[in-house]
Amino acid sequence: MKRKYWEIIQAMPATEIESTVRRFEELELDGVWVPQLHSPPFVTLAAIAMASKRIKLGTGIALAFTRSPTETALSALDLDRISGGRVVLGLGTGVRTWNERAHGIVYGKPVEHLREVVQTVRAIVERGHTGELRALDGKYHKLDLTGVSNRKPARTSIPIYVPALFENTVLLSARVADGLLGHPVWSMRWIAEQAQRLEKTLVEAGRKRDQFHVNLWNYAAVAPNRKQAIDDMRGTVAFYSSIAQYQKYYAAHGFGAEANAVIEAAQRNDSAAMLKAVPDEMVTTFAIAGTPDDARERVEKMWQYADSMTLSPPQYFVGGNRLAEYHAAIVDTFYRD
């Protein structure tokens, strides 16, 4: 069976969307994710739906707390209708500072908040059109859903995936979601540990692993020169290491001091110090960086735990031409095998 790869797209002019998506379908990719970084993913995904015929459309991820669960559910239902039933709804917490500073919302306890949003969105998707929904009295959202939707949906069930860095979100995905998105800086050790935890929790919940989907994300710099690949990936690892909320993750791998140095350098806006603080071993622990053979070996190990995979070129401190080269290397190394 051909392995299932996904790509990531952000908003771009319509003609570029059309040509990019056409190429992805020619490569027989399984789906595309649109992340919520500076804008919601639904508009871009609607444009992709119009430009495509087969490829799946994923919010990867939509921030769960920055809009009401009602709006999220109705947006997903509309997108599913437009695309003929191709939507995968990724919902995640995002980092606290971005939620509270840029969106001015209550972050709360993120895992319990995300659980409530997932369950509310699912209820609206599955039963909103039936007229049976009334009041949902949650901790974070108190909603009167009487008459919320009377249109028959394209599907009465849209897959909901939850992304995870730490174990509590892995457990949440197994209990309330249809799939898990592994964080793009998961190490091989972390992937194996979380896969074991996921399978144990699915069994406890009376669920079967083959009815649950795992999409593993990872950044990949593939080049003939291994040192060049590591150097070009260093900035992406540094960027994620600069997120204070993730510091305990790096500490758990023995890179706590390095992550603290990156955080301090980022607070000074000292990019050179950020890069200097990340050793080669840290790069290759949290990302794929090396020759095509190095990359294939790493990805083959990941396939033990994945149903599909999303590989992305390094995103930070890398110029546009080099970025395009790394994307082409992913295509040649993995999609054409």
Burial class (CB in 10 A: 0-12, 13-18, 19+), 32: buried
Percent of the chain residues topping a pLDDT of 70: 99
- Tell me: pLDDT of 217 over 70: yes
- The tens digit of pLDDT for each residue in 38-79 reads 889 999 999 999 999 999 999 999 999 999 999 999 999 999
Give the pLDDT score at 242: 97
Domains and CATH numbers, the chain: 5-223+291-335 (3.20.20.30)
* Closest listed residue to residue 213, CA positions, set 183, 179, 248: 179
Q: What is the mean pLDDT of the chain?
A: 96
Give the pLDDT score at 320: 78
- The tens digit of pLDDT for each residue in 201-214 reads 999 999 999 999 99
Give the pLDDT score at 182: 97
CB atoms under 10 Å from CB of 3, counted, come to 14
- Tell me: pLDDT of 254 over 80: yes
Give the pLDDT score at 337: 65
How far, in Å, CA of 6 to CA of 212, rounded? 17
CB atoms under 10 Å from CB of 334, counted, come to 19
How far, in Å, CA of 56 to CA of 85, rounded? 9
